Structures are given as C-alpha cells and as structure tokens.
Structure 1
Amino acid sequence: MPNSIDLLPLWEAPNQADLLLTHEAIQPFIHRTPVLENASLNAMSGAKLLFKCENFQKIGAFKMRGAASAALRLSPPEREKGLATHSSGNHAQAVALTAQILGVPAYIVMPHDAPRVKVAAVEGYGATITYCENTPQDRQRTLDAVVAKTGAAFIHPFNDYGVIAGQATAAMELIADTKAVLDVVMAPVGGGGLLSGTALATRYFSLQAETWGAEPRNVDDAARSLASGQIESNVSNQTVADGLRTNLGDKTFAIIHKRVPRILVVSEREIIAAMRHVWERMKIIIEPSCAVPLAAVLRYPELFAGKTVGIILTGGNVDVDALPF
C-alpha cells in the first residue's frame, strides 16, 4: 500500500479545501495526465480546444480519481473487508485497481454485455466478478447480495461526495495546467459524478469559466432533468456511449442543477464522427462516451465560436474489434 493520506467522509458537497486535500491524497493512485491541443480541430470548430487526456490515466479513464478518493475515506476496518461496486466497465476497473493497490479484495458486479476489454481489465486486476442483467434494478439487487455475503464497502459509481471530489481533480489539473483563460469547461454526463465534480472545480479554481455538459440524445435524462428541475429517467439505454447510460443521482443532480447552466445533446452519428476525428487528427484512442463533448462543440458552433474551451477526454477503453466506424 502506498503512503497515502486518509480522508474524512464527506456529508455534503465538497468545498475548495476538500478538493485540494483530495487531490493531494490521491497522488499515489493517479497520473497527472497531459493537456493537448490540435490545430485541425481548432479550425474545424472555430474555437480553441484544450483536451485533458484522461484516456492516459491509470485504468485508461478518469474513474481512478473518484475510486481512490472514496476508498481513502473508509476506515481501515471497513477497507480490509474489501471494496464492492456495480459498473459496466471504467468504474469497475478503477475500484479493482484501487483495491489491488490497497491490498484488499474487490467484488465487482458487471452486466453480461459489458465491453469485453473492460471485463478483461477487471479480471486482470484480480477482482471477483459477479454478472447480472443490464438493468439498474438487477445491478443493485446483485450488488446487495454480494455486499451481504462479503461485508465489502460499496463505492458508488457517481452518487457519492467522495467520488465527486475525486472526479473534480481532473478539471483542477486542466485549469492549473492551462495558460489560457478558459471560457467553458466541458464534460460528458451519465450519472453525473464527473460533471458535478467539474462544475465544483471550475467554480472554485477558474476566473470566469462556466461548466457545460454534453449527452447523447438517446439517453438525454440529464438535459431533461436540468430543464424540469427534477430527476428524469430514460426509457431506453441504447447508445454507443456505453459509459453514459446511467441516470443522475440526487447528489449529482443537486450540484449540476445549481452549477451547470447548459447540457447539450448530440446524435449517435455525431458522437461516432467526433470519435473518429480525435483518432484521425490527434492520433490518440478515445472511447465513444469520451467523444460526446467534442460532438457538441461541432454540433453547436455558434455557442463556441471564438471561445477557449477545456474538454475532459474521459477514457480510452474501447474494444478495437468492435469499433463504431
């Protein structure tokens, strides 16, 4: 186990001091990922785009930040019984690797149709996988049974203030490592852990930037929730952006409703095109969920013209045998 700083549990949305301490505490668990710019994509969008490349993060996604933050808030006796979660992939990998680093067991509930590359990675980190049907109800029911059997601590994929504080550190680094003054910081939204964390980091550490979200039109519950003022749900979860199929939680919604003025929606075709642009122009691998903010920039050029925009590239765990383009 690395020499890490134990963190106190968070019972309310993290403040600036909480985020600073979280960032310090999770250093043994994360990489400081680069911020990249691409002239071709700038020209295509009419904006200055600065990409925070969390596809280069440990486990290939930003989720490592939140998992480490939440685990470090458990007491040693709680931690020793192991970590548990349900996830289709990236959060599963993050919890599995966090547990491996801490030297404790990991128990992961995954849907039968989770991407193969993500299942293989979870297995590679030594976690015990229990499969379930790909519905929120069956995920939770299966997880409850695993927790009852093992006594492991549940680390929620997004609706947890410790997780939110960890995810906020990606935007903190983006803001700190960017010389230009940002007008907008963008993140995709599924359950809302990254977007709510990004909104808090932007509020505390940026001079003028707003946080905007981006979401597939096929699973646009967050955009509808922002419009209605209450948590909405999706009838279907059919989108190529498999990491964004989840509905908001009460904690993430409360922060997003207060701090995020705009969530833009894009089509499946636009997501796939944006993903391909990044592969071809930036020469880096990103997964479909990761491409949603760029798709929004390209879909709504009038909103971004002349602006400096920070974009969280969330991850690169894609099955290269099943590319959407």
Structure 2
Amino acid sequence: MAFNEAALRAEYGGTKLYYQSVNKANEGAAPEFYDFHVSPRLTYTLETFAGNPIDLHTVTEEMAFQTGLEVGKIHWQTEEIPHELDGYGYLAWTQDKGLHGAFDGNAREFLKEESKEHLADYSVLCTARSEFEDPVVSRAIQVAVELRNRQFKKPLLANQDVSPENILLNDGRVRLIDPYPSIYYSRGMAGNFMNLYETYFIGLADTERYRSHQFSKCADQLKAMAIGFLEGYSAGDLQVEREVRGEQLLQLLETAHSHFCLLSEEISEEKRIRYGNAAAIKERLVWLSEELKSLAADQISELEQTVSG
C-alpha cells in the first residue's frame, strides 16, 4: 500500500475519538487504551484486548436480543457526547485542521439533496424493474424522506461498521471495536444497523464475502439482535423508533438500487466477492423487492402517524 498520511490519521484518529466517546458515555464499552503512530517508516496502532466476538451460532435468541439491546444503548448514549469537530460526513484529516468532517457547509441542505436522490433511485428502479412498483412502497419512501428532513437537527458522531465480528463479549459485557465513524444524521446509522441485521447479512449470506459466517443459519439470532438494538437505541421513545424504521426503509432501498447499478457495469473481482455474479445479483433483486414491500407494509401506518402528528 502507498503511504497516505491523511487517510491513516483520519482512520486511526476517528477510531480513537469514537472509543473515547463510547467510554465517556458508557465506561468500558470500548477498549480503554488506544493509540497510534503514523510515519513513512513505521505505522501502527495499539489497543487493549476487549474480548471475543459474539458467536451467533451458539447464542440463544434471548441472548442475541440482550446483546442487541446493549449495543443499541451504547450507540444512543455515544451520540449524546459532543464530538467538537467541524464539518460533517466521513472523517478526514489535514495538517491545518486536524480531524474533521469531510464536508463543509449546511448539513441540513445536504440531507435534503440526499433525500431527493432516494426518491430518484426508487423511480429508476420502478422504471427498469416492474416488481419494485408498489403504491405502499412509494408512499412509505415519501413519508420516510419527509420525516428525516423534518427531524434532522445537527450532525452527531455515529458508527457505520456494526458487523458481528466487531461486537465483542468480555465476561458478559458488550464491547465495540473497529468502528467506521462519521458525523451526520445519526438515525441513518441506526437504520443501517436494522437493515444489516434484518435483511442484508441474511440476503448476502451465500456470497464469498460472507459465506464463512453462515448467516443464513443464524437468521433468527440476527433478527433478535436487531429488535434488541431498536429497543435499546430508542429507550422506549416511539418517535425515535419510527425515525429509525424510516431510515431502515431508505437503507433497504439503497441496497436494492446499488444491486441494480451493478448490472449496468462490468462486475469487478472485488464486487463479485462481495455481491456474487450477475445471475446471483438479478435473483437477489427480486428478493429485495419483496423485502422492501414487506417492510413498507409493516411500517407505513406508524410512519404516517409520526408525520401527521
């Protein structure tokens, strides 16, 4: 790998910031010690041992739920810790500014433009593939977009990489490692968790990237973790729960749209490992359309109540 000081300092500095924020919110929920050194001759990180990854194939659904509950609490509590960084988006580093969000400007306007892209992406899917056309899905996406545009207040520190191997257990205590932090609409990252655990990991279980995890054999545990996460993250607040479900719907939409886009380009080896070949992607698109319809039907009433209220 070519040495890239800015990228390394952004990655490692972001990890350090996230660990510090987690431990301020919930002491011991991340490695207590983390430091790094970056130079052309020697680059390394050091962190304390945090535990062993959760084995979803051996835990009960109740244990999976409790784990998700704790992860949700940690995420919610960490968002409450001020990050004190300029900008928004994924983290970047420069000599003059240090660690900061990659984008400047008005984050609310950026979110509104992103919301327009969600609507456009659904329109593209419906035009190209008739199985995505559904009035309930269309209405649910519109309501989810309206809800996020209304509720977003300010960019908060959140974590995108919440795969099971990054959730550790140490003497029964849940601890988080290897984050991919960003400063943005935190409900979006909560919705990302729900999409990953209720849909994405299960749907891509047969790909080369995820095959060793055998996610299809622990689908019930994955879904139990998602339900636990939502309960822990929302802390009983129905408004928050609905906001997260709205973001989950948009995350699922983008999963489908990204799969569709893959079919219009040459599938690289990296993408084949992650998503499979063209035939597998086409088959998964049909499944994703059904998942989108199911989630929209389940959530449309709650989302509309939130917007109208």
| TM-score of the two chains, using structure 1 as the length reference | 0.29
Q: Which has the larger radius of gyration?
A: 2
Structure whose residues are more often helix by fraction: 2
Greater relative contact order structure (CA < 8 Å, 6+ sep): 2
